[in-house]
Amino acid sequence: MESLPDVDVFVGNIVSIDFAAYELWLEQAEAEEARDYLMKLDKDEHKEKEGREFLFYSYVLDQFRIFGMLEPMLHYPTMLANQMTYQISMDSQKLVISKYYALDEVVVREFLGKKLNKSTRRDLDEICAKTQKKLKYCQRQFDNCRRIFKAVEDMSGSLVKNIQKHFQLPLSLSWDYAAVVFLANHRFDCSKRKLSCLGFRDFVECSKFLIESWTHSQTDCTDLPQEIDPEFLHDLRSVKILVSEQKLFDKHKNTTVNKARELLHLSELKGSDELAGTQWCEASFRPLSRGIVGIASCLYKSKEIRDYFIDIFEKVVEPCRTCGWDKERVNMFLQCYAAAAKQLPQIEQLSLTWDKYIKTTTKCILQIYKK
């Protein structure tokens, strides 16, 4: 008689999930790898070396089978909650879902802002070569994103809440997906070489700022939660005068420098001498202001929106960096710059729009500003 069974199945009334095995499965580990890993973990089982391999192997296969059967339902997590085929405790359900949808930041970073379509999926092998992950693993990450993208695409109401509700995800994870969806929807260009120093988190944070302030997503009653407020973008064109009219430009510059000086006094952060303290501000004002205003006035073109990150990087972050500013200083400059503009009568009527733009952009710049 054969010593190994060719069918070896264990089924219980209640599905119990071994999360160690589940994580291995999610990583697309082979059953043999998983067996070896679990065996190493499990030390307390003394002696009986022989046969142990088999026990673990058959255990892993059983667990893998459960996961394989559950997988189609994990694509519609609400279904998992009211289906009747598998009896799983509420806690396990939650954990199973959130682990399934856990984002691999390195992998997802690679396709951020790209169209979530078949051709991107086909190119995943490059990503998997680059990240040293298994292709199937990358595909699952991609498919998760695409599935959520498709599901919430046409839904009205808050983007984050929709994701949270329909995929039963914890809030923070829902935000991550909201960012992925948002970036993909507007096709933000995140893959320029210059941006490669930015991680997944940077983009999530930036998207969060953008979603919160530039879209209507936070209000529950909106039909197009992902759309960037067109009125806002339209109004934003008028800020061009900040650079186009020389008088205004000079006034803006002076006010900014004064404000910076006041701040320096207050904070008693006088460098070696006071003059040097404002020198930096005066010197960089022109290119920075041109950059900031330039970005703002063009945002109404959808092409320009895509380049938002690369623009702020090239026109603001890089010049600041070449001047050797630290984050504090960038922040101070932007604060003064924003406040000074608001004091100009020409901008006053636009102050809401200006605020909306400059505050969010400031946050984004600071997020991606690294030494």
Partner 1 sequence: MPGRLKVRIIAGRHLPVMDRASELTDAFVEVKFGSLTYKTEVFPKSLNPTWNSEWFKFEVDDEHLQDEPLQIRVLDHDTYSAHDAIGKIYIDIDPLLDDESSHVLCGWFPVYDTMHGIRGEILLTVKLELFADANQFKQSSCGFKFICGVTVPECYRIKYIHGFVHEFLVNEDPEYKWIDKLRTPRATNEARQRLFSKMTGELQRRIGRKVENMGGNAVLGYQQQFDIEEDSGIVVRGIGTAVTIETRKKSRKKSTIRSASSSPDKLTKEFPFYTMKSFPPRFLSRLSIAVNAHSVKLLEKIHTGNSEDVETRDSWWNELRQEIKGHCHALACNAVIGYTEHASICDDVVILSAQGTAATVNPLFCPVSQADKDENCDDHFLQVNFSGSKRNSTFSESTVQSLDEDKENSLLLFEVPKELTELVCPMKCQPSPLNPNILVPDMLFTTVHLPNDVQYIGKGTVVQARFCRSKKKGQGEPNAALVSEFLPFIEYELHKRLYNKVKIRGMNALFGLESKITLGENIVVGVATGTAVCLAALPKLCQQSASESKEPSTSSLEARYTSFTRQCVEVFQLKQTTEAECDPTSNAHPHLSPSPRSPLSLSMDDKRSLVIGIDEFSPHDDDDEFHDLLLNDSLPPPHCYISNMDICPGLNESLTLTQMFSLLWRVRYDDDANDKTLNEGLTRCCEQAMKTLWFRLRRNNPVCFIAKARFLLVLADDDELQIWITGAALIPDTKAPKDSNKKISFRNSAPVRAKSGLLQEPDLAKEDDVESNDEGAMLSLGLDARKFSASFISRPLSPLYRKLKRTNTVGSRNRYDSTSSGASKTAARNRHFSEGGSSISDIDHRDLNEASEPVEITPMSYMCDRATVRHIGVLNMFIIRETTAVRGSDEEIPSAEPAHGTGCSWFVSRSLTETNALIRAHVVALGGNALTSYKSSHCVLKESLAKNEAQCLIHVSGDVVLID
Nearest 5 degrees, angle CA 353-CA 319-CA 325?
95
Segment contacting partner 1 by CB under 8 A, of 23-31, 213-221, 255-263, 325-333: 23-31
Segment contacting partner 1 by CB under 8 A, of 82-90, 138-146, 198-206, 240-248: 82-90
- Reduced to 3 states (helix: H, G, I; strand: E, B; else coil), residue 215 is strand
Answer for which of 155, 310, 323, 339 binds partner 1 (CB under 8 A) is 155
Asked if residue 197 lies in contact with residue 203, where contact means CB atoms within 8 angstroms, the answer is no
What is the rounded distance in angstroms from the CA atom of residue 188 to the CA atom of residue 53? 49
Asked whether position 14 contacts partner 1 by CB under 8 A, the answer is yes
Judged by beta carbon, residue 97 or residue 312, the one nearer partner 1 is 97
Answer for which of 22, 26, 31, 198 binds partner 1 (CB under 8 A) is 31
What is the rounded distance in angstroms from the CA atom of residue 160 to the CA atom of residue 162? 5
Segment contacting partner 1 by CB under 8 A, of 59-67, 120-128, 274-282, 345-353: 59-67
Judged by beta carbon, residue 76 or residue 300, the one nearer partner 1 is 76
Answer for which of 121, 134, 166, 240 binds partner 1 (CB under 8 A) is 166
- Read off φ and ψ for residue 263, nearest 5 degrees: -60, -40
Angle between helix axes 327-343 and 351-368 (nearest 10 degrees) is 170
What is the rounded distance in angstroms from the CA atom of residue 185 to the CA atom of residue 151? 13
Residue with tokens 């995140």: 190
Asked whether position 116 contacts partner 1 by CB under 8 A, the answer is no
To partner 1, the closest distance from the beta carbon of 161 in angstroms equals: 12
Answer for which of 10, 194, 250, 349 binds partner 1 (CB under 8 A) is 10
Angle between helix axes 159-167 and 171-185 (nearest 10 degrees) is 120
Note the residues at the interface with partner 1 (CB under 8 A). 1-14, 16, 18, 25, 30-31, 44, 51, 55, 57-59, 61-62, 64-69, 75-76, 78-79, 81-93, 150-151, 153-155, 166
